[in-house]
């Protein structure tokens, strides 16, 4: 038990170092709040499996075409599909959005998520996960960006970096990574670490041809250490230029 606590404390300290290094390099993220929590949820659903640019374009088009959420609920699904097509998977996302709106109207008598303001993080997560098409990442993003809650979502970039850095097992899936990171991210640092890990994953630690020579985390990286070992470099040798 003591060994487990010690290992957990070391991992938390390691994650603090990573967050501090990224914050020094990229700065403190400033994120514009969503108009409403329901806006945040729908925009997050639209962001699934696509780029921020495409999902933002789809959300703007949706709100321009349908001024109220009641208009979205009343619209034929095919009309919604046509409007949000730029986000990709429109034939899946449109029915999910309508199903969520229908559920809210049935349960709450209005198209709003204001009732979640009284919920704890755990209760709010459970509630969001009960909605159609909402998984752990979508739920956590909604809480982080829509409510300012101190929760840590894991997307594809963060999942890749957490495995490369050795924070989680290289066999861990994204959901497992999110569960483990919840206990490792320091209080008040979820937004900073989330946004800056994504920035780092897009600019430097890319899925293909990562730019290890330009990486501020290179001295902490398990993947680089492994590559240095196999190439005969010592810990104080030259930086590796590539990881798998």
In this prediction, residue 7 has a pLDDT band, given cuts at 50, 70 and 90, of confident
**Distance between CA atoms of 43 and 146, rounded to whole angstroms?**
10
pLDDT at residue 215, as a whole number: 97
- Whole-number mean pLDDT of the chain? 91
Asked whether residue 234 carries a pLDDT value surpassing 50, the answer given is no
Judged against a pLDDT cut of 70, whether residue 65 lies above it is answered with: yes
pLDDT at 237 exceeding the cut of 70: no
Amino acid 227: pLDDT: 47
Which pLDDT score, from 0 to 100, does residue 38 have? Answer: 97
How far, in Å, CA of 131 to CA of 31, rounded?
Answer: 25
| pLDDT the model gives residue 219 | 93
HSE-up of 115 (CA within 13 Å, CB side)?
11
Name which of 111-125, 191-205, 222-236 the model is least confident about: 222-236
Domains of the chain from N-terminus onward: 2-29+154-230 (1.10.1670.10), 37-147 (1.10.340.30)
Integer Cα distance of 187 and 151 in angstroms: 9
Q: What is the pLDDT of residue 240?
A: 38
pLDDT at 35 exceeding the cut of 90: no
Q: How far apart are CA 228 and CA 223, in angstroms?
A: 9
Task: Calculate mean pLDDT across residues 125-153.
Answer: 97
Structure tokens at 76: 């034929």
Annotated catalytic residues are 137
């Amino acid at each position: 038990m003591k060994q487990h606590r010690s290992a957990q404390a070391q991992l938390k300290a390691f994650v603090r170092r990573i967050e501090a290094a990224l914050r020094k390099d990229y700065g403190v993220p400033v994120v514009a709040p969503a108009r409403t929590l329901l806006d945040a949820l729908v925009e997050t659903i639209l962001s699934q499996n696509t780029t921020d640019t495409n999902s933002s374009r789809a959300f703007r088009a949706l709100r321009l075409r349908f001024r109220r959420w009641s208009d979205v609920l009343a619209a034929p699904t095919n009309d919604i599909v046509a409007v949000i097509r730029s986000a990709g998977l429109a034939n899946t996302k449109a029915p999910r959005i309508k199903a969520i709106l229908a559920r809210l109207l049935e349960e709450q008598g209005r198209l709003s998520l204001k009732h979640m303001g009284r919920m704890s993080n755990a209760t709010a997560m459970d509630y969001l996960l009960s909605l159609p098409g909402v998984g752990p990442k979508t739920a956590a993003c909604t809480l982080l960006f829509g409510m300012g809650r101190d929760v840590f979502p894991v997307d594809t970039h963060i999942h890749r970096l957490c495995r490369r850095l050795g924070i989680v097992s290289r066999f861990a899936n994204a959901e497992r990574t999110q569960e483990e990171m919840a206990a490792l991210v320091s209080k008040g640092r979820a937004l900073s670490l989330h946004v800056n890990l994504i920035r780092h994953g897009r600019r430097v630690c890319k899925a293909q041809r990562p730019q290890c020579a330009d990486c501020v985390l290179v001295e902490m990286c398990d993947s680089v250490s492994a590559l240095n070992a196999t190439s005969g470099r010592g810990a104080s040798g030259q930086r590796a230029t590539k990881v798998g």
